[in-house]
Structure 1
Amino acid sequence: MTDIQTYPKEFLTTLFSEAVAVADPIRVVKTHLPKRPNGRFIVICAGKASARMAEAVEAHYGPCEGLVITRYGYDRPTQGIEIVQAAHPVPDAAGETATVRMLKMVSNLDADDVVIALISGGGSALLCAPGEGLTLEDKIAVNRALLASGAPISEVNIVRKHLSRVKGGQLAAACYPAKLLTLLISDVPGDDPSEIASGPTVGENSAAQDALDIIEQHNITMPPHVGAVIAAGSGVVAPDDTRLAYAETRIIAAPSHSLSAAASLAEMAGLDVRQLGDALEGEARDLGVEQAQYAVKLQSEMTKTAKPILLLSGGECTVTRRGNGIGGPNAEFALAAAIALNGQEGIHILACDTDGVDGAAEVAGAFSGPQTLRAAQDVGISPSAALADNDAHNFFDVVAGQIVTGPTLTNVNDFRAILIFAVN
């Protein structure tokens, strides 16, 4: 462990690494696998962690029959399971073709067969099978509009489900009457299985009108015929549908597990750890200001000899596109917090996505501290202008505050840590 006060960035990065490590599929998948079935056995996977999950399955069973759809750059060496790489967060033809193949792979099974579905965050974009009357181009246009709207991910996924032939329990229905075990790595606030990757193997309670209401509420512009397709009704599967009778679902890694691991490490280092919740949602910049103000309040109440305080939180913030820059919710959180702190001594912030990708950029997130605004001033970049243009990633690139991990091969949502020292 580093000298925390001298190297706050390194310390917070260590905590983030621990949060990622405890969600590594190699560590968590094997304890949930049953004895290898005697009959036909198929492994289907989708999400940013799915190739790593498939690797874990084959480390346990040996070569298996199956198909993985993961993000470009997230493939892993497997023995029998095929890996297909596709686009995220906006789907592409590779994802569509692979999804159709996956549906066909499980469409003629019988009651003696077993399917293991390995699902993680990112699966919603990667599992792409447009509903009747829709094209891939329609799905791409809708996805872009949804991502730019600032709508909570739970609402985004409701719309996605009613435009799909695979989401909202439809993949599970395709597997029937085979037995289906779904292992989930959660990247959603509250760990609702129906929201993880838009619940392809989990029953869905929402109706078509719910999707239409979300589109109207957030003023989401999309091709006119898309609304008509939703209104006509989709194939989402209700939780009590007979085709889900042999489906079992387990969450094997979640944001709460990762935050707890980071908290334990910090407590061993002598910090006063306070968890603010693992399911926080809302506009990233607003949450950044709120937590910065709370940190200042706590600091004002600290004595000179008080333990350093660590605030931890998770969840999934959103960004409403206002400008043309490059910046995800974690970088935007860190930038808004830095502006609110205005160089306050003794407060350091790290905000990263545990999958290593914050928004659409190949950057996990950002670190900010008392030096951040001074560094910006030295190079002539305006923090407020960067925030207004949604350009947090470029801002932190210039001031050397980016956190770049590359693919982490897991995904348990955002990780935010604020380290607070007493000041004179």
Structure 2
Amino acid sequence: MTDPDANTPDPHAVLRRLFDAAVAAAQPALCLPPHLPAPPKGRTIVIGAGKASAAMALALEAHWPGPLEGLVVTRYAYQQACQRIEIVQASHPVPDAAGLAASKRIAALVTGLTADDLVIALISGGGSSLLVAPGEGLTLADKQAVNTALLASGATIAEMNCVRRHLSGLKGGRLGALCHPAHLLTLLISDVPGDSPMDIASGPTVADTTRCADALDIIARYRMDVPAPVRALLESGQGETVKPGDARLAGSQVRMIAAPQIALEAAAEVARAAGITPYILGDSLEGEARDVAKVLAGITRQVAQHGQPFQAPCVLLSGGETTVTLRNPQGTGRGGRNVEFLLALAVALGDLDGVYALAGDTDGVDGIEEIAGALVTPDTLARAWAQGMNPRRFLDHNDAHSFFQKLGDSVLTGPTLTNVNDFRAIMITR
């Protein structure tokens, strides 16, 4: 491994501290309590869905002064030991029967409330598949087929969630409408570029500005093969969502308690403390993972070779959500958007010295692997070739997890109990 500049702290250790700081800044125990309202005259019902929902529920319980009850659904292994709020686990990113059963119970829990009651909805990334309630005429199998097609299509997260909203019995504002006439407060942890509430978990408690026609356009654009009942529901217009101005959502409140920008700023502070100047390039970068890698590789090369637009040592920080189009949907590649980005970055940088990078999903799961991401070093490609691995071949097969695991460069966190999307840091030491 190439030695970093003697005056620069160990890049591996610094990059991991940056990532850990980003995750810590979005922990519900830190960011949720300041947003809690006063208890209502009537009942307090807590509902929620997402990878952070159980941790959000635990933080709420710890700071709530009165009685409360509720149910949230989270990803398997993300449960928390709540006393008054029931935690149910289900599958992500493809929904399962456990998520369907939990979604039905959540809908029943908020039905028949009064204007004296308060519903607190804890919504975070991952809720789109966890809060699964098929629309009229659809089955769980239909929803599973659509989710699988979306994940392989290369569609952006906003496009995916547009389709999901119009095929749901609860998303797209429908769950919020069920809460009427109770007061509704939605607490959000954003995992989407732009932090649009209707895209976080497909917006179960907020109004939606898109239409069935938009969902059909997305399906056509990416040439997705979807079940016939899915197409029929969208073409009939009966999958339409709750729109702005709907009286059932009047007076409801939405508060963003954590977002990618907060995580990037926390990482930037750690970088400064280490004597490395941080530059936040954006919290909502989108596009094909390998294309984003090429662009950031070009900026990195300009810094390393010409000192423009920044001087080394520095670290380039970015967030957002890239996409991956599977080259062989029936293949056996083990990939995720962060490791695909990193492998493409390493290939694009070639033998450029003095550059280290870390990319990871802040929820601890990149793709479907229990692996957050990986590290790239100046000698990543050389070490790969020494083991007989062709980096481009792994990239062509969307098999970046296998690549980095063989090198011993995977980043493991376990369940982080939050989710503010992807984190990318490229350190240029000289």
Range class of TM-score, shorter chain:
over 0.9
* Equivalent in the alignment of 1:56: 59
After superposition, what is the alpha-carbon deviation per residue over 1:362-407, rounded to whole angstroms, capped at 9, x for unaligned?
A: 1101110112111111211111010000000010000111101011
Structure 2 CA distance, aligned partners of 1:407 and 1:22?
15
> Within the alignment, does 1:245 sit opposite 2:250 as a pair?
yes
Structure 1 residues 168, 4: CA separation in 2 closer, same or farther (over 3 Å shift)?
A: farther
Give distance in 2, aligned partners of 1:36 and 1:27: 20
Q: CA deviation at 1:35?
A: 1.8
CA distance in 2, matches of 1:225, 1:113: 37
Q: Provide the aligned C-alpha RMSD in A.
A: 1.6
- Residue ranges of structure 1 left out of the alignment (5+ in a row): none
Query: Contact 2:355 / 2:378 at 8 angstroms: preserved in 1?
Result: yes
Q: In the alignment, what sits opposite 2:39?
A: 36
2:407 alignment counterpart? 399
Cα contact 2:180–2:249 (8 A) shared by 1: yes
Pick closer, same or farther for the CA change 1:298–1:46 going to 2, 3 Å.
same
Could you tell me which runs of 5 or more consecutive residues in structure 2 were left unpaired when the two chains were aligned.
Answer: 1-5
1:299 to 2:307 alignment: no
SS at match of 1:79: coil
Alignment of structure 1 residues 77-88 onto 2, 5 Å: 77-88=81-92
TM-score (structure 2 length as normaliser) = 0.95
Q: Distance in 2 between matches of 1:155 and 1:207?
A: 12
The 2-side partners of 1:76 and 1:368 are apart by 33
TM-score by length of 1: 0.97
* 1-structure distance, mates of 2:92, 2:113: 30
CA deviation after TM superposition for structure 1 residue 234, in Å: 1.6
Residue number in structure 2 paired with 1:12: 15
User: Counterparts of 1:392 and 1:5 in 2: how far apart (Å)?
Assistant: 28
Q: Is the 8 A contact 1:352 1:415 kept in 2?
A: yes
Distance 1:340 1:255 in 2: 26
Deviation at 1:246, TM superposition (A): 2.8
> Whole-Å Cα distance in 2 between the matches of residues 4 and 43 of structure 1?
51
Gap change, CA 1:148 and 1:366, over 3 Å in 2: same
| Identical counterparts, % of pairs | 55
**How far off is 1:269 after superposition?**
2.1
1:166 counterpart = 2:170? yes
**Contact 1:343–1:369 (8 Å) recurs in 2:** no
Q: Distance in 2 between matches of 1:417 and 1:275?
A: 9
Q: Residue 158 of structure 2: SS of its match in structure 1?
A: helix
Q: How many angstroms apart in 2 are the aligned matches of 1:234 and 1:384?
A: 42
Aligned equivalents of 2:300 and 2:7: distance in 1? 17
Q: Which amino acid aligns with 1:49?
A: A
1:235 deviation in Å?
4.5
DSSP-derived class of the 1:279 partner? strand
Contact 1:176/1:246, CA 8 A, preserved across alignment? no
Alignment-derived partner of residue 190 in structure 1: 194
Checking the alignment, whether the CA contact within 8 Å between 1:332 and 1:390 is kept in structure 2 is: yes
Tell me the CA shift for residue 4 of structure 1: 7.7
SS at 2:87's partner residue?
strand
CA–CA distance in structure 2, aligned partners of residues 6 and 121 of structure 1 = 34
Correspondent of 1:264 among 269, 274, 291: 269
Q: Is the deviation greater in 261-270 or in 312-321?
A: 261-270
State whether structure 2 residue 378 is matched by structure 1 residue 370: yes
Q: Distance in 2 between matches of 1:384 and 1:171?
A: 45
